[in-house]
Amino acid sequence: MILAEARGYKGLQMDENNASVESWEEVILIYNSAMKEMVTRLEILNNEFQHTHSYNPIEHLKSRIKTPESIVKKLRRHGYESSIENMVNHVKDIAGVRVICSFTSDVYEIAQMIMNQSDIEVISVKDYIKNPKPSGYMSYHIIASVPVYLSDRKLDTKVEIQIRTVAMDFWASLEHKINYKFDGNVPEEIRTQLVDCAARIRDLDDRMLHLNEEVQQANSQ
């Protein structure tokens, strides 16, 4: 198991200054710090938006660190041995932050604000809202490198940021429970219903956004 192997691993390179990370505990400390850093930045951006526009684009935030079991499972699924080196190099969502918004316009607003942060490097972007997965899954994913400042060095650490509407999050939560219940082998009838629900959610989000825009326009007159 990766926890046992991690305790004895030496020499992991995580930053440009060749500073080593020598234990599982230190790796988790770093990823947890990167996750907290991202959450704090998002809270500040939300507060700034409230101050400037009298509106909060973020309904709420969720954050988590992947468990050792989940990390090992993902490594094995992609054919890698369980080591800290492989964990850091090949698992991009060890630290995760989920941003829940009211409207799809908020999703793209938040994504742009993240990308505008000068010391955050955007590694990859996947827009599953404009291009949903075949299952119907919708969300906006960013893998970003966030600076973590320790007492003696800076470590640029990957964080996955998922941005979605309340309705999309509700759908994704149900899909996760269904996949867990059926161990990934979901009956065709249920998969079909999930895809149909996703289409209804897209329509609902579009209609709610349009309604909100009409209200905002009426208030400005």
pLDDT at 216 over 60: yes
* pTM score: 0.87
Instruction: Give the model's pLDDT for residue 129.
Output: 98
Q: Which residue type occupies 82?
A: S
pLDDT at 176 over 50: yes
The tokens describing 93, both together, are: 């969502």
Report the pLDDT averaged over residues 117-121: 95
The phi, psi pair for 116, rounded to 5°, reads -80, -10
Check residues 220 and 169 and name the one with the higher pLDDT.
169
**pLDDT-derived band at 52, boundaries 50, 70, 90:** very high
Instruction: Give the model's pLDDT for residue 8.
Output: 34
Check residues 109 and 14 and name the one with the higher pLDDT.
109
CA distance 218 to 183: 49
How many helices (DSSP H) and strands (DSSP E) are in the chain?
Answer: 7, 7
Q: Could you give the C-alpha distances from 28 to 15, 88, 160, in angstroms and in order?
A: 16, 11, 15
Beta bridge partners of 96: 64, 160
Domains of the chain: 2-167 (3.30.460.10)
The phi, psi pair for 67, rounded to 5°, reads -75, 155
Instruction: Give the model's pLDDT for residue 22.
Output: 57
Nearest to 103 by CA among 218, 221, 214: 214
pLDDT at 11 over 50: no
pLDDT tens digits for range 23-46:
788 889 999 999 999 999 999 999
The phi, psi pair for 43, rounded to 5°, reads -65, -40
**pLDDT-derived band at 68, boundaries 50, 70, 90:** confident
